[in-house]
Amino acid sequence: MSSAFRLVEITTENVEDACRLSVRPDQQRLVQPVAQSLALAYAFGERAWPRLVVDGEEIVGFLMAFFDVPFDADPPGVTRDGLWRLNVAAGQQGRGVGRFAVEEVARELRRRGRRTLTTSWHVAGNGPEPFYRRLGFRPTGESVEGEIVGELDLGAPGTG
Ligand SMILES: CC(C)(COP(=O)(O)OP(=O)(O)OC[C@H]1O[C@@H](n2cnc3c(N)ncnc32)[C@H](O)[C@@H]1OP(=O)(O)O)[C@@H](O)C(=O)NCCC(=O)NCCS
């Protein structure tokens, strides 16, 4: 599906608007606020990839990818790449923003030669599991910080 959505970097011009982006009140325990993710991005440097999804001039979503990060239970030398945070603005859900965000992270990972996109989700009645399953993520059987770990196979390099 083509869309008018674009990814933009966080800048001095948009950072305060970015921090005002909010999911629905009933979803607020499912994902950290944007400001907290940006604090992590500051600390993780090159291993964090925060971006806004904009539609025209309007900020409709926030994502943060991660690169080369080990999970707590991973053996030495093992790292993962994927989607760390995804917040679609309360009034903008259900119109493809989340799908676009995941596709853009997949594109960036393929560009970096990676084959797997890892994420994790909180299990709750209003949680994002149906969304991730719809996009092709499959649980790995692991959990991290109380969340289900899921992976999306990005296929062979150069595909998709
Ligand atoms: C989960 C979330 C990211 C989904 O974003 P979105 O922009 O509403 O999703 P999209 O419109 O891109 O939906 C993509 C597909 O998933 C499906 N989908 C999305 N949410 C769904 C749900 N709750 N149940 C079933 N299907 C769902 C859509 O129907 C769509 O399918 P289609 O393309 O075949 O029509 C968004 O609801 C959100 O920000 N939730 C709160 C925060 C959160 O849970 N973030 C994830 C942290 S791990």
Pocket lining for ligand 1, CB < 6 angstroms: 23, 27, 30-31, 86-88, 93-99, 121, 128, 130-131, 134
CA of 14 to the centre of ligand 1 (A): 24
Distance CA 52, CA 104 (A): 11
Q: Where residue 68 falls among pLDDT bands split at 50, 70, 90?
A: very high
CA of 11 to the centre of ligand 1 (A): 26
Distance CA 116, CA 29 (A): 27
- pLDDT tens for each residue of 32-65: 999 999 999 999 999 999 999 999 999 999 999 9
User: How confident is the prediction for the chain on average, in pLDDT?
Assistant: 95
> What are the structural domains, with CATH classification, of the chain?
5-118 (3.40.630.30)
Residue-wise burial string across 8-44, b where 16 or more C-beta atoms lie within 10 A, e elsewhere: eebeeeeeeebbebebeeebeebbbbbeebbebbeeb
Quote the pLDDT of residue 156: 67
